[in-house]
Amino acid sequence: MPSPIPQPGLLGRRSECQTLDRYLEAVRGGESRALVVRGEPGVGKTALLQYAIDAASGMRVVRAVGVESEMELAFAGLQQLCAPMLDRLERLPGPQRDALATAFGLRTGDTPDRFFVGLAALGLLSEVAADQPLLCVVDDAQWLDRASAQALGLVARRLVAESVALVLAARVGGDERELAGLPELVVEGLRDADARALLGSVIRGPLDDRVRDRIVAETRGNPLALLELPRGLTPAELAGGFGLPHAPPLAGRYREAIARLTRTRARAWLARAHLAYGEWLRRQRRRLDAREELRIAHDMLAAMGAAGFAERASRELIATGETARKVTVETRSGLTAQETQIARLARDGLSNPEIGARLFISPRTVEYHLHKVFGKLDISSRTELGGALPGEPKAPSPV
């Protein structure tokens, strides 16, 4: 039977939960389903996956989580998902069994054919689901190694009537080409009424209407932001002192938040902290200071694929008098914001691993973007970046 309507922790997610309920019910009825749940960090993707797990009565559940540090390890994500089911490995056809066993390091051999590995994963899931409907859940799919993403993409496209549900969660703007074309459930921020209700559930003291509306607007209904932002405000600020003109502590709080987030891996929150501080500075008519914060925010958000927030930073930059060329996601040279950021770091002498560590992407991804940069700028090495980057003086041509 369909699961009950969302638990209290999923306020405002009735439609999303009903979609998951329909998928699970179809699988219980002998069909198969694949779904990619997409949304920005903190919007509630993991909570929806947990809802699906809790709602999967009568089904076996296996799960995996993409790990950024394992993106270079082929089949790491797939092994994590399949490990609890490897007791069925011997039931697979020989070539598939050998390919999967070699991929998972259970036996030695040549590098396995990835098509065989994908078929083996499909066969393994089907074998398990023959006894009991199966729900496979993968969180943070944007950090899956490419081999695992390819295998799961193959599985998702070939599911028909095996009683298997494959649900993956990934960030918006991700570059998971292996998952392209699969059905998606896009998760947006909460509606204002639900955002206010969630905010009210975590604030026990007085909450000024202007403060409440400002927090809802700043967070754009992001549940995690709604829960975290009030923790940095005093009862007096919540009662009416937050964001008012000439409130000296606020600038210090923004700087403190940025300094704290800089020491963590929470890059999305750091970018949004720069954005919020830049917006505040602009409202205080400190345009030059605002531009610095907003430029940082725009570059970080564009590189992450957070198009909505990057566009918001662009509008704020234009409002400070910044030129349009500096705030567009793609410059006249054709470089995207992420390519420009990577190119500048490479120009400054950072290695691919150093660039990857700073931007929280893999060295392989850095190399991929640099290859595109060289082609767009018609250069062949890092040493030529200084004179070729947009807005930089061109190096003199040899005579």
Which whole number is the average pLDDT over 18-25?
95
Q: How confident is the model at residue 201 (pLDDT cuts 50, 70, 90)?
A: confident
Q: Residue 310: inside a domain, yes or no?
A: no
CA nearest to 164, candidates 137, 120, 133: 133
Tens of pLDDT, residues 206-239: 777 777 787 787 777 888 878 777 766 667 667 7
Question: Are 379 and 346 within one domain?
Answer: yes
Q: Residue 257: inside a domain, yes or no?
A: no
What does residue 185 show for φ and ψ, rounded to 5 degrees?
-115, 105
Q: Residue 214: inside a domain, yes or no?
A: yes
Show which of 198, 213, 242 is a domain's final residue. 242
| CATH number assigned to the domain comprising residue 29 | 3.40.50.300
Tell me the C-alpha distance between 32 and 266, whole Å: 36
Question: Are 146 and 216 within one domain?
Answer: no
| CATH number assigned to the domain comprising residue 380 | 1.10.10.10
Show which of 139, 170, 186 is a domain's final residue. 186
pLDDT at position 330, please? 43
Tally of CB atoms within 10 A around 122: 22
Q: Residue 14: inside a domain, yes or no?
A: yes
pLDDT at position 252, please? 66
To the nearest whole percent, how much of the chain has pLDDT over 70? 81
171: left (phi over 0), alpha (psi -120 to 50) or beta: beta
Tell me the C-alpha distance between 136 and 130, whole Å: 14
- Give the number of domains in the chain: 3
Q: Residue 262: inside a domain, yes or no?
A: no
Lowest mean pLDDT among 49-58, 103-112, 124-133, 227-236: 227-236
Question: Are 167 and 195 within one domain?
Answer: no
Q: How confident is the model at residue 395 (pLDDT cuts 50, 70, 90)?
A: very low
Question: Are 180 and 210 within one domain?
Answer: no
Lowest mean pLDDT among 102-111, 224-233, 258-267, 374-383: 258-267
Report CA dihedral (238, 243, 247, 253) to the nearest 10 degrees.
80
Q: Residue 205: inside a domain, yes or no?
A: yes
Average pLDDT, the chain: 81
pLDDT at position 332, please? 38
Listing DSSP states for 125-186 in one string gives HHHHHTTS-EEEEEE-GGGS-HHHHHHHHHHHHH-SSSSEEEEEEEETT---GGGTTS-EEE
Q: How confident is the model at residue 266 (pLDDT cuts 50, 70, 90)?
A: low
R_g (Cα) of the chain, nearest Å: 24
Residue 233: give the domain boundaries.
190-242
Question: Are 373 and 348 within one domain?
Answer: yes
Q: Which two tokens stand for residue 234?
A: 């005093």
pLDDT at position 20, please? 95
pLDDT at position 325, please? 40
Question: Are 70 and 120 within one domain?
Answer: yes
Question: Are 196 and 133 within one domain?
Answer: no
Q: How confident is the model at residue 163 (pLDDT cuts 50, 70, 90)?
A: very high
Is the pLDDT assigned to residue 167 strictly greater than 90? yes
Is 206 exposed, middle or buried (CB count within 10 Å of its CB: 0-12, 13-18, 19+)?
exposed
Question: Are 230 and 354 within one domain?
Answer: no
Q: Residue 297: inside a domain, yes or no?
A: no
Show which of 174, 209, 242 is a domain's final residue. 242
pLDDT at position 396, please? 41
Question: Are 146 and 235 within one domain?
Answer: no
| The overall pTM is greater than 0.85 | no
CA nearest to 306, candidates 333, 272, 278: 272
Is the pLDDT assigned to residue 326 strictly greater than 50? no
Is the pLDDT assigned to residue 158 strictly greater than 60? yes
Question: Are 164 and 228 within one domain?
Answer: no
**Across the chain, where does the E strand assignment appear?**
33-39, 60-65, 134-139, 164-171, 184-186
Please answer whether residues 124 and 82 qualify as being in contact, where contact means their C-beta atoms are separated by less than 8 angstroms.
yes
User: What is the chain's percent helix, strand, coil content, to nearest 5?
Assistant: 60, 10, 30
Question: Are 36 and 155 within one domain?
Answer: yes
Please answer whether residues 389 and 347 qualify as being in contact, where contact means their C-beta atoms are separated by less than 8 angstroms.
yes
To the nearest whole percent, how much of the chain has pLDDT over 90? 36
User: Which of the pair, 231 or 367, is modelled with greater confidence?
Assistant: 367
Lowest mean pLDDT among 25-29, 43-47, 334-338: 334-338
Question: Are 99 and 216 within one domain?
Answer: no
pLDDT at position 260, please? 67
Non-local CB neighbours of 204 within 8 Å, separated by 6+ positions: none
153-167, 255-269, 313-327, 348-362: which is most confident: 153-167
pLDDT at position 398, please? 40
Q: Residue 113: inside a domain, yes or no?
A: yes
Which whole number is the average pLDDT over 246-275?
68
